[in-house]
Amino acid sequence: MRFLCEREDLFTALQTVSRAVAQRSPNPMYENVFLQAWAGGVRLAGTDQSLGIEALIPGTVQEEGSVLLPGRLFPEIVRKLPEGEVSVEVSDRFTATIRMPKIKTTLQGMDASLYPSLPAVDDGEEVHISQNLLKDMIRQTGFAIAQDATRPILTGCLFEVSGEQATMVALDGFRLALRRGQLAAPCEGSISCVVSGRYWAEIGRILSDSDDEVALRLGEKHVSMEKDGCKIVVSRMDGEYIKYRQLLPAQYQTSVLLDRAALSESIDRASLMAKEGRNNLLKFSIKGDSLSISSNSEMGDVFEQIDAVTQGQDIDISFNVNYITDAIRSLAEEKVLFRFNTSISPAVIVPEEGDSFLYLVLPVRTFQGV
């Protein structure tokens, strides 16, 4: 195997595919990057068996072949090379020689003949969606997946498609994040799938900051996406997702319209003190046209007031700091609406207008709050 390619192309492709390379695997083969030179160019791939990423780059192939090279060291070596043309040559004993003028690196590889191809996803439905929208859906829900695997399905995000509308949902036992948007082209009927939050994040990483659409193929076992010579295939999760619709409150007793930046800064300051304490709590108190946020610990306390436009009843309610900061950070809107029923029922955070985003969070019951 022997080919020439640009260092820049090789490095970009390695950065992409190495995200799918297993850090540690019972089968050391999966700790490698797959490298193949054939008539069509140079193909790189990585997989940990549930996540696979493949990238094609232009190259001058002088001899076809394939090899597995160390998944951590090979990209590091290429990262440190200067710009220009790189030659890669692999011997019969799987030793790769990477050459540039005055620089020669040899790297011991492995036989690639047992390395699996990415699963072909040729069944199922194709969903066309704007890259920016899909990125936002992933970013604005992914933080709410369960961190432990007590209920494995909750480490995934549900992706639902119905007609022109797509919805992504993540929830753990304490909060739920939901993002809706319009597809680039309507789908027939309704489809849904659950994919690990970690894999959605990898799909998000491959997307560009662009409104150009991309096609997600939702197969029976896998979800795949292709973009600019790069292909990602991820396993779907088995099992039924929580029927999340019944968790969403139908009405609210209190609504508070807030400046997101002001809210974010106040929460940031109040969090500092909350995190010193054991309870990690933020207390929200709505009285008339004012919202106050307070926190305390043995070290002291913080009291913040924020201008707000309120509707409905006064309320005192407490939340875990982290559940609130995650949601506020994921929003870009100038104004947000905080909506409550009682101090022991779920509250929601939504944009001032539209229903593109909803964050639901359970309050923490406190002696003061009840």
Q: Per-residue x/- mask for its own copies, residues 306 to 325, rule CB under 8 A? A: x-------------------
Of these, 108, 210, 313, 368, which contacts its own copies (CB under 8 A)?
108
* DSSP structure string for 287-352: ETTEEEEEEEETTEEEEEEEE-EEEE--EEEEEEHHHHHHHHHH---SEEEEEES-TTS-EEEEES
* Beta carbon of residue 27, minimum distance to its own copies (angstroms, whole number): 19
In sequence order, which residues have a C-beta less than 8 Å from that of residue 153 and are 6 or more positions away? 194, 237, 239, 240, 241, 242
- Using CB under 8 A, which of the segments 54-62, 95-103, 145-153, 226-234 binds its own copies? 95-103
Rounded CA separation 196/215 (Å): 19
- Using CB under 8 A, which of the segments 17-25, 75-83, 146-154, 160-168 binds its own copies? 75-83
Site membership for its own copies, residue 272 (CB under 8 A): yes
Site membership for its own copies, residue 76 (CB under 8 A): yes
Crossing angle for the helix pair 260-276 and 321-330, nearest 10 degrees? 150
* Beta carbon of residue 26, minimum distance to its own copies (angstroms, whole number): 21
Site membership for its own copies, residue 110 (CB under 8 A): no
Site membership for its own copies, residue 103 (CB under 8 A): yes
Facing residues of 213 across strands?
Answer: 130
Site membership for its own copies, residue 300 (CB under 8 A): yes
Q: How big is the site for its own copies, counted in residues (CB under 8 A)?
A: 32
* Main-chain phi, psi angles of 107, to 5 degrees: -145, 125
Closer residue to its own copies, CB minimum distance, 102 or 278 = 102
Rounded CA separation 94/92 (Å): 5
* Beta carbon of residue 10, minimum distance to its own copies (angstroms, whole number): 15
- Residues 213-232: b if buried by 16+ CB within 10 A, e if exposed: bbebbbbeebbbbbeeebbb
Of these, 105, 255, 280, 342, which contacts its own copies (CB under 8 A)?
105
What part of residues 208-267 is at the interface with its own copies (CB under 8 A)? 265-266
* Beta carbon of residue 264, minimum distance to its own copies (angstroms, whole number): 11
Alpha helical stretches, state H, 65-167: 73-79, 131-142
- Using CB under 8 A, which of the segments 41-49, 78-86, 209-217, 224-232 binds its own copies? 78-86
- Using CB under 8 A, which of the segments 9-17, 104-112, 120-128, 231-239 binds its own copies? 104-112
* Beta carbon of residue 73, minimum distance to its own copies (angstroms, whole number): 6
Of these, 19, 198, 269, 335, which contacts its own copies (CB under 8 A)?
269
Rounded CA separation 126/65 (Å): 33
Token pair for 350: 């939504």
Rounded CA separation 142/155 (Å): 9
Nearest to 223 by CA among 240, 245, 202: 202
Determine contact, residues 309/339, Cβ cutoff 8 Å.
no
Q: Is the dihedral of CA 219, 223, 225, 229 positive or negative?
A: negative
Closer residue to its own copies, CB minimum distance, 207 or 324 = 324
Of these, 49, 62, 305, 313, which contacts its own copies (CB under 8 A)?
305
Which positions lie near its own copies, rule CB under 8 A? 70, 73, 76-77, 80-82, 95-96, 102-108, 265-266, 268-269, 272-273, 276, 298-306
